[in-house]
Amino acid sequence: MTVGHALAMTSKSADVQYQSSSQFDPVFLAILYYFGDLGYENLPRIAADALEQGFDGKSLRRLAGLQNPVLADIPRQEIDDAFGELGVSAPIPKSGAQLALATQCAMEALSGKINVFDAATHVRVYICELKDDLTELSHICVLSKKAKDAPVNQWPVLEQQLVDAFSELVTQREHTDAKLRSLA
């Protein structure tokens, strides 16, 4: 799911523009779509690229043939079917997409690609949309709120707590993903 964090860090509205890539990642594209970052107007290009990559299916072929679609041109079931033809278990619940994006953000913070405070803010504001609905992300959101107004002398402690919370999230997700793969 490392197609590019820049896609996930854009402003909240279905305005991510899909660009063809040699790193075609159907799961990541589905996560972005079901989270709401990737608009329906990108689906024809994605479907055409999928066909070029060797995927095939009735829904992919139909979507690839659309030009300048409007939302009414693409039934929701056809979108789910197209992602299914890409090997993705679709639809992805929004909460699942949120957890996947938060996990990616956590991995990037832990690897030093982004600062942990920025990552926590991104999770709280952008991914969780300032809501505390996901139990798995609530600790990160609480720490992000604390960090927002914390005096500088508390930053090292909060930073370590965020690193620990991100590590726990990544470990939980890896364990859950491994468990799901073993059941398949």
Note the pLDDT tens digit of each residue in 121-173. Answer: 999 999 999 998 899 999 999 999 999 999 999 999 999 999 999 999 999 98
Pull the structure tokens for residue 82. 């197209």
Residue-level pLDDT at 65: 96
Give me the amino acid identity at 120: A
Residues 155 and 160: their CA atoms lie apart, in Å, by: 9
Asked whether the beta carbons of 161 and 171 are under 8 A apart, the reply is no
Give 15: exposed, middle or buried? Use CB within 10 Å, 0-12, 13-18, 19+: exposed
pLDDT tens across the length of the chain (184 residues): 333 333 333 334 456 667 776 678 999 999 999 999 999 999 999 999 999 999 999 999 999 999 999 989 899 999 999 999 999 999 999 999 999 999 999 999 999 999 999 999 999 999 999 998 899 999 999 999 999 999 999 999 999 999 999 999 999 988 776 655 555 4
Nearest Cα neighbor of 88 from 127, 39, 55 is: 55
- Determine contact, residues 24/2, Cβ cutoff 8 Å: no
Say what the pLDDT of residue 127 is: 96
Task: Locate 162 and state its tokens.
Answer: 């965020």
What is the predicted pLDDT for the residue at 182? 54
Alpha carbon distance 22, 50 (integer Å):
11
Q: In which residue are the tokens 């793969």 written?
A: 181
Q: Which of 133, 181, 149, 143 is nearest to 163 (CA)?
A: 143
pLDDT value of position 7:
37
Indicate the SS3 state at residue 38: strand
CA distances from 12 to 16, 36, 144 (A): 9, 8, 19
Answer whether 109's CB lies under 8 Å from 119's CB.
yes
* Residue-level pLDDT at 184: 42
Q: What is the pLDDT of residue 6?
A: 35
